[in-house]
Chains A and B, each alone.
Chain A
Amino acid sequence: MYYLYIATGLTLLISFIGNRGKTFKAVKIAFKKLVKIFPAFLTMLILVSIVLFLVPDKTISNYLGNNGKFIGVILASFFGSITLMPGFIAFPLCGILFKKGVGYMILSAFTTTLMMVGILTYPIEKEYFGVKVSIIRNTISFFIAIIVALSIGFFFGELL
């Protein structure tokens, strides 16, 4: 996380040395944009807090661990699509699940949909891309995630 602060600070400093006026303008633009999209972020945070309550890690572990591999992939991609969690929670969770015997194919279906399909980020996405394109993009992403999972299954010898 620190590299983000360092990078932002350095860029800001260089910009400030280069041109004060432009730098103030940039900060102003940043603030305006943030305010504009804030309601969508608030909606997303509220949805995230409720969904994570309804579908906690434990539930996800249970469903991914206790079913056949193909049902597992379907359930995993469902949970990956409807939830949102940062990598530092998701990958350790997958590490634990793997040790419990959940296969790579199921885990990749979960992580890839988690990354690519954003039902919870939809309130933000539709502000920029509109309803129709957001739905198209998420649908395509879902299928890409399934293809990725099947490929992982194939290369790790779990498919057959």
Chain B
Amino acid sequence: MKLQNKYIKALAIIIYFVFIIGSFVIGFKPGKQIGHNFITFSMEMLKILPCAFILIGLFEVWVKKESIEKHLGKGSGMLGYIWVIILAGTTVGGLYVAFPVAYSLFKKGAKLAVIFTYIGASAICRIPMTIFESSFMGIKFSLIRLIVSVPLVILSSIWLGNYLEKKSYRIMEGK
């Protein structure tokens, strides 16, 4: 069953690319548009992903498990959430970069509540994005957004983290 799914997925991907290339050959406009979208977004991610993953690799090699356990682990307290929000503020890209970082944090012994806070915060607290946002929407807009959303992210992460901690839930790296 699992293997079959894999083949179906691979087939779908092949059909997609045949469709895109075919569209460019015969000049089918919707297909060309989809192809352009694909290229634009791929380029955007290629600019970020190699750097992000090299930083993740360096993190895994250099940062000691004990120090993550101490500052972001079970006994870390409120300060752990603050550290992780600062880390999230410097995260680039968005959720798709935050997930692999979350896995590395988990492996190094961070607790789940802190990890979910990291995920949420890296969606809403990225510093360059927030500066950009306030230049278009005004500082008041960005401030209200942060003041309302950050506590909600922390509270919901504590709830979800504690709930999953009881079930001895694990973050994986691919299945």
- B-to-A contact residues, CB < 8 Å: 9, 13, 16, 30, 33-35, 37-38, 41-42, 44-45, 47-51, 53-58, 60-62, 92, 94-96, 99-100, 102-103, 116, 119-120, 123-124, 128-129, 132-133, 135-137, 140-141, 144-145, 148-149, 152-153, 156, 160, 164, 169, 171-175
Number of interface residues of A (CB under 8 A): 71
- A-to-B contact residues, CB < 8 Å: 1, 4-5, 7-8, 11-12, 15, 22-23, 25-31, 33-34, 36-37, 39-46, 48-50, 52-53, 84, 86-88, 91-92, 94-95, 98, 104, 107-108, 111-112, 115-116, 118, 121, 124-125, 127-130, 133, 136-137, 140-141, 144-145, 147-148, 151-152, 155-156
| Contact of B153 (CB < 8 Å), options: A12, A40, A86, A144 | A144
Q: Are B54 and A37 in contact (CB under 8 A)?
A: no
Q: Are B137 and A86 in contact (CB under 8 A)?
A: no
Question: Does more than half of chain A's interface fall in helix, strand or loop, or is it mixed?
Answer: helix
Q: Tell me the complex Cα distance, A151–B141, Å.
A: 10
Measured between beta carbons, the chain A residues less than 8 angstroms from B47 are: 1
- 12 residue pairs bridging A and B, Cβ less than 8 Å apart: A8-B55, A23-B61, A30-B50, A33-B53, A36-B174, A43-B13, A53-B30, A53-B33, A53-B34, A127-B99, A130-B172, A155-B144
- Least Cβ–Cβ distance between B113 and chain A, in angstroms: 13
- Least Cβ–Cβ distance between B133 and chain A, in angstroms: 5
Question: Does more than half of chain B's interface fall in helix, strand or loop, or is it mixed?
Answer: helix
Q: Tell me the complex Cα distance, A45–B44, Å.
A: 11
- Least Cβ–Cβ distance between B95 and chain A, in angstroms: 5
Q: Are B57 and A27 in contact (CB under 8 A)?
A: yes
Measured between beta carbons, the chain B residues less than 8 angstroms from A33 are: 53, 56-57, 100, 173
